[in-house]
Amino acid sequence: MMETGSIIGDRCVGPTADRFFESVNPATEAVLARVHDASAEHLDRAVACARDAFGDWHRLPAGERAAHLAAVAEILEERAADLASVETADTGMTIGMTSGGHLPRSIAHFRHFAQEATRITGEAIPLDDAYLSVVERVPLGVVGIITPWNAPLAVMSINVAAALAAGNTCVVKPSERSPVSATLLATAALEAGLPPGVLNVVQGTGAGIGSALVEHPAVPGICFVGGTATGRAVMERAGRRLKRVTLELGGKSPTVVLADADLEAAVDGALLSMFSSNGEVCTAGSRIIVEGPLHERFTEAFVARARAIAVGDPMLAGTEMGPLIDSAHRRRVQDFIAAGMREGARLACGGTPPPDLPAGYYLSPTVLVGVANEMRVAREEIFGPVACILRAPDADQAIAIANDTQYGLSATLWTADTSRGLSLSRRLRAGTVAINSTVVRDIRAPFGGMGGSGVGRVGGRWSIERYTEVKTTTLKVEGLPLPRLGRRNRE
């Protein structure tokens, strides 16, 4: 069993007999790690370390901050195989997903923001001949970063790398459901030479440490990645203190399949977007809206392929879908399936754990057909392997159904006519849209949601904007005739 501590300054504060919780491997139900259950005092200490480190860190020449971030990327790359295994054991994501997706992305995040650190520039605004205003981006200070359980390293790394590149220092509160890799990342960063206090990790619950971090008076910036309901509460509380808040929240993303789409490609894309990452991904294409004439053939092909997805041990290379994060979450997902059927949807496949996998929190890929957009299964984020197939009479209706949601994170659209696809996609309300592809994320491009899916964007310079304030300094240039107060009575 592993011991996972909090990283506070240069110290790892480990779990103790009276301050610990357990993280369970969802594939085996065995305890993976005993984790430090930090107190409010631990959080205060971590924030104090981050404040102490801030002065030197933000004054470092950008090139030196960049070198530190590149060194973190390097050490993550050396440890990538081990980190991917731990991430799989802690989350249930397949080893293909963690080693081929999450780890390379995490490394790329540090490499990219190492470069971005050196690209932060300002503007000069001449005000006639009299003044010159200099506009700079300055860091916020200590940034609190709260992460979800489904992609811990990838989500932590994009935000930590951007915040540090911009000159901030960080206190990270990982999810208590998959806490291990955050501590490993911060430990590796210290070993790579990152100055102590620049990156701190405080382990604990959302209601305890998460909430205290949001309220902490010495933390002016909050980045929260998680569910929409939690995000709303975070924003309300951070709003009372007028903090800079970035929210990356849930989704109920539409996959729109038009009648002229390439059936095989659309089925491939819809399956990947729905069931990769065990359905536990914010961009999951969980509402599949198919235009009438293709609906029957699409559904038949989609269900046949969903039935054939290889569910099993996420450590095995051939596995396509692993277990859900824990038994409470699997119960919640199954409750959604039951609710959908009560409201009139038909279960085409799945709905129960695979009989050959008695241990672990597995659930077979599930497809509900005959779903109406008013049903709970179509309105709420399930965050599990449950695809809802809806029928649209025509393309206009398909777009209307796609937009009829509180969310707006991502959308995909499948059609043989790409110029019509482009025109229709411009009517989709989503932060990221893909035509004839699953959602592709490039670190230089902005990513984030509209409406209930979030506030702000991450990626490239958009991240830097979230993690900096704009500051204007004005210099007098020459010949400024200032009105001279207080002189008239003396003359």
- Give the catalytic positions in this structure: 248, 282
Residues forming contacts to ligand NAD in the complex (CB under 6 A) are 146-151, 155, 173, 175-176, 205-207, 210-211, 214, 225-227, 230, 233-234, 248-251, 282, 381, 383, 409, 449, 454
State in angstroms the smallest separation of the CB of 179 from ligand NAD.
Answer: 9
CA distance 314 to 362: 11
Report residue 130 CA to chain centroid gap: 47
Q: Based on CB atoms, which residue is closest to ligand NAD, 218 or 259? A: 218
State in angstroms the smallest separation of the CB of 476 from ligand NAD.
Answer: 46
State in angstroms the smallest separation of the CB of 26 from ligand NAD.
Answer: 13
Per the listing, tokens 């970063």 go with: 145
State in angstroms the smallest separation of the CB of 430 from ligand NAD.
Answer: 12
Write out the H or E segment, with its range, that includes residue 81. Answer: helix 80-91
Query: Would you call 12 exposed, middle or buried from its count of C-beta atoms within 10 A (0-12, 13-18, 19+)?
Result: middle
First CA to last CA across the chain, in angstroms?
Answer: 85
Q: Based on CB atoms, which residue is closest to ligand NAD, 361 or 383? A: 383
DSSP-based three-state secondary structure for 271? helix
State in angstroms the smallest separation of the CB of 384 from ligand NAD.
Answer: 11
Q: What is the 3-state secondary structure (H, E, C) of 113-163?
A: HHHHHCCCCCEEEEECCCEEEEEEEEECCEEEEECCCCCHHHHHHHHHHHH
Q: Based on CB atoms, which residue is closest to ligand NAD, 66 or 213? A: 213
Computed on alpha carbons and rounded to an integer, the radius of gyration of the chain in Å comes to 25
- Phi/psi for 257 (5° steps) reads -115, 110
CA distance 189 to 69: 9
State in angstroms the smallest separation of the CB of 248 from ligand NAD.
Answer: 3
Residue nearest to ligand NAD (CB): 206
Q: Based on CB atoms, which residue is closest to ligand NAD, 107 or 225? A: 225
Residue 144 near residue 219 (C-beta atoms within 8 A): yes
What sections of 146-251 are H helices per DSSP? 152-165, 180-191, 211-215, 228-240
Of 147, 149, 141, 157, nearest to 223 by C-alpha is: 147
Q: Based on CB atoms, which residue is closest to ligand NAD, 205 or 397? A: 205
346-349 and 287-291 as β-strands: parallel, antiparallel, unpaired? unpaired
Q: Based on CB atoms, which residue is closest to ligand NAD, 421 or 449? A: 449
Q: Based on CB atoms, which residue is closest to ligand NAD, 226 or 312? A: 226
State in angstroms the smallest separation of the CB of 138 from ligand NAD.
Answer: 26
CA distance 120 to 376: 45
Distance set, CA 151 to CA 4, 10, 116, 432 (Å)? 18, 26, 23, 19
State in angstroms the smallest separation of the CB of 203 from ligand NAD.
Answer: 10
Distance set, CA 321 to CA 27, 32, 253, 453 (Å)? 11, 20, 20, 25
Q: Based on CB atoms, which residue is closest to ligand NAD, 75 or 245? A: 245
